[in-house]
């Protein structure tokens, strides 16, 4: 394990493990979602045309969104289970086969969901970090990092469905610490969501870093995170793994 100085802190912090949020941190999520929804609808045209007769592609996405928003609070952390239940519902009301739509149809969507386009800097950064720290993923979504091009760099992943809670609930961060087998305070969590990632990790006892490529102003009442990155490529520099190039005169 490594101990690395954080230049913007008055004293060094110990980092034994780094965890990452996935969607909109290591890759943009919406292109993958749009691609997955389109591929699923194409599957419906062939295998469950009754659903297509009832729903246009846009109407189907709207129906899914409304269903997810109306789900009970204690079920929102498991997007896979919710989607399967929704698929059964739309199949039943359309006269299609619920079992096939909720299994085969879901698999078509999920495979495409994991065909993400990583940030151009992600692979190089993760490869460098993996030589110094344990790396984990903590995600509220239902992407499987090990099915993506970046999976080879990770030691473990904690999805909300497995933890039984979603960020910013401390339970999901504690589950990650148990999997990492390091003290909570030696984990640095990096993510794009100020509340779910930064404040959630901090309140659970982790160190936190904000991935903020849009240079959004910090608007939370709590102090700013330990670190803020505008690019993934800044992470190794800020952790002391890379010496930044000197400025030209």
Residue by residue, DSSP assigns 180-202 as HTS-GGGEEEEES-IIIIIIHHH
Close Cβ partners of 120 (under 8 Å, ≥ 6 residues apart): none
Q: What is the mean pLDDT of residues 135-152?
A: 97
Q: What is the mean pLDDT of residues 131-146?
A: 96
How far is 180 from 203, CA to CA, in rounded Å? 18
The yes-or-no answer to whether 3-28+119-238 and 30-113 have a common fold is no
* pTM of the full structure: 0.90
The predicted pLDDT at position 3 comes to: 42
- Which of 66-70, 152-156, 208-212, 238-242 shows the lowest mean pLDDT across its residues? 238-242
The predicted pLDDT at position 14 comes to: 85
Which value, to the nearest 10 degrees, does the dihedral of the CA atoms of residues 119, 4, 190, 34 take?
Answer: 20
Domain 3-28+119-238 sits in CATH 3.40.50.1000: yes
How far is 8 from 142, CA to CA, in rounded Å? 34
Neighbours of 151 (CB within 10 A): 14
How far is 194 from 214, CA to CA, in rounded Å? 13
Q: Write out pLDDT tens, residues 9-42.
A: 334 568 999 999 999 999 999 999 999 999 999 9
Contact indicator for 246, 221 with CB cutoff of 8 Å: no
Sign of the torsion formed by the C-alpha atoms of 54, 39, 165 and 201: negative
Q: Which CATH architecture has domain 30-113?
A: Up-down Bundle (1.20)
17-20 and 134-139 as β-strands: parallel, antiparallel, unpaired? Answer: parallel
Q: Where are the domains of the chain?
A: 3-28+119-238, 30-113
């Amino acid at each position: 394990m490594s101990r690395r100085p954080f230049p913007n802190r008055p004293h060094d912090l110990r980092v034994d493990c780094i965890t990452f949020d996935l969607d909109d941190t290591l890759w943009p999520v919406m292109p993958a979602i749009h691609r997955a929804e389109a591929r699923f609808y194409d599957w419906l045209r062939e295998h469950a045309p009754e659903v297509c007769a009832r729903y246009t592609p846009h109407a189907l996405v709207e129906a899914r969104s409304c269903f997810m928003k109306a789900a009970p609070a204690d079920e929102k952390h498991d997007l896979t289970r919710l989607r399967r239940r929704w698929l059964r519902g739309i199949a039943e009301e359309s006269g299609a086969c619920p079992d096939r739509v909720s299994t085969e149809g879901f698999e078509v969507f999920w495979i495409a969901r994991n065909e993400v386009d990583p940030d151009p800097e992600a692979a190089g950064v993760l490869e460098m970090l993996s030589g110094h720290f344990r790396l984990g993923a903590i995600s509220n979504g239902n992407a499987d990092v090990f099915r993506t091009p970046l999976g080879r760099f990770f030691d473990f992943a904690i999805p909300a469905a497995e933890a039984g809670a979603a960020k910013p609930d401390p339970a999901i961060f504690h589950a990650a610490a148990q999997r990492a087998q390091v003290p909570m305070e030696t984990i640095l969590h990096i993510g794009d969501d100020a509340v779910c990632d930064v404040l959630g990790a901090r309140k659970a006892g982790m160190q936190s870093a904000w991935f903020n490529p849009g240079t959004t102003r910090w608007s939370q009442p709590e102090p700013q995170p330990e670190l803020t990155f505008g690019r993934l490529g800044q992470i190794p520099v800020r952790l002391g793994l890379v010496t930044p190039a000197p400025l030209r005169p």
